[in-house]
Structure 1
């Protein structure tokens, strides 16, 4: 009888399990993707209707894109440092990522000022309205990324992020890279469909 139970235990199928916090993150990412997919679809439909004024995208949006890509490199550097228990590098890399994320937001705001100087406003022609909505929505999500960075930084200061406990830094890195990829998609989309 004991042998039969042992065999049944050994033959039990493996269950797939995912960390609940990572599952929530991926659910949130899918939600954001759906939000921006609906917005880009609405953009294309509205653009096809006409009454669309094209405008020059301010140069600062190019620079802010580079800043965000570099911040993603710094975030990956933080992740590698955590895997190696290099706590000083981890703190420096997260700090650099945070500063670059803030710089990106400031540059977006300066880009909006440049748009206003071109007489492109939030209210008025739909092309400008969509541009503001896209950049604002991304900016809001980037602010949530900065909050996640702060939580991860505090955890790193308390030595709760290390080679045997990478969940926080993995979540932070995944979300930050996603925000970077999302911005590149939006920027290329807005450049191509002006």
Structure 2
């Protein structure tokens, strides 16, 4: 039985499919983890010590806007690389990075606002509601750190001219992950807003 060797294009397509499949599995596992945390949040709302009058900090609203803009910018970077527009791709990748860093900064501003209101995440003065908020936000920030690291790798590879309209896989994977992070945070934000 003879086998015909794969062409370079077939190999690239197969590798891209494999990487995308692995990313989808990782995102599904992350989604399941957050489903578990939010389920525990809902169950814990029946506790007598649950804080009823808690308001989300204003910085969380701005961080939500920031991560939505991240998603838009990386989508535009993906469109630009498909047109072989290297300068636009660079510009949108750098904007995504800046907005991602702004999201992290605004999350910490939000944590400070919560503490300034007298709500603590740990210790004898903490409350189960704020602890859940802290866990949800910190776990999302950990996943976002992975997104920022991957974005730095994408920017580096782009600077080395590894991406073009025929080989956009790295940017496509980054865009899928950032859209996931955006969607996940918006869902978490709406969950916390309506179910606090």
TM-score if structure 2 supplies the norm length?
A: 0.88
In the alignment, structure 1 residue 173 sits paired with structure 2 residue 183? no
Partner of residue 53, structure 1: 51
Question: Deviation at 1:50?
Answer: 2.9
Contact 2:90-2:158 within 8 A present in 1 as well? yes
Gaps of 5+ in 1: 1-15
Match of residue 148, structure 1, among 137, 150, 167: 150
Question: Deviation at 1:25?
Answer: 0.6
Q: Secondary structure at the match of 1:49?
A: coil
Q: Give per-residue Cα distances to partners, 1:45-100, cap 9 Å, x unaligned.
A: 11123310131211111011111111111111100011000001101100000000
Contact 2:114-2:120 within 8 A present in 1 as well? yes
Question: Deviation at 1:17?
Answer: 9.2
* CA–CA separation in structure 2 for the residues paired with 1:80 and 1:21: 20
* CA–CA separation in structure 1 for the residues paired with 2:58 and 2:16: 42
Q: Give per-residue Cα distances to partners, 1:129-181, cap 9 Å, x unaligned.
A: 00001110111111100111111111111111110001101100000000000
Match of residue 186, structure 2, among 162, 184, 187: 184
Q: Secondary structure at the match of 1:140?
A: helix
Q: Secondary structure at the match of 2:50?
A: coil
Question: Deviation at 1:28?
Answer: 0.6
Contact 2:16-2:169 within 8 A present in 1 as well? no
Partner of residue 131, structure 1: 133
Q: Give per-residue Cα distances to partners, 1:107-136, cap 9 Å, x unaligned.
A: 000100000001111122110000001110
Which structure has the larger Rg over C-alpha atoms? 1
Runs of 4+ in 1 over 6 A off after TM superposition: none
Partner of residue 33, structure 1: 31
Gaps of 5+ in 2: 1-13
Partner of residue 117, structure 1: 116
Structure 2 counterparts to residues 75-94 of structure 1, below 5 A: 75-94=74-93
Question: Deviation at 1:26?
Answer: 0.7
The range that moved more, 100-109 or 66-75, is 66-75
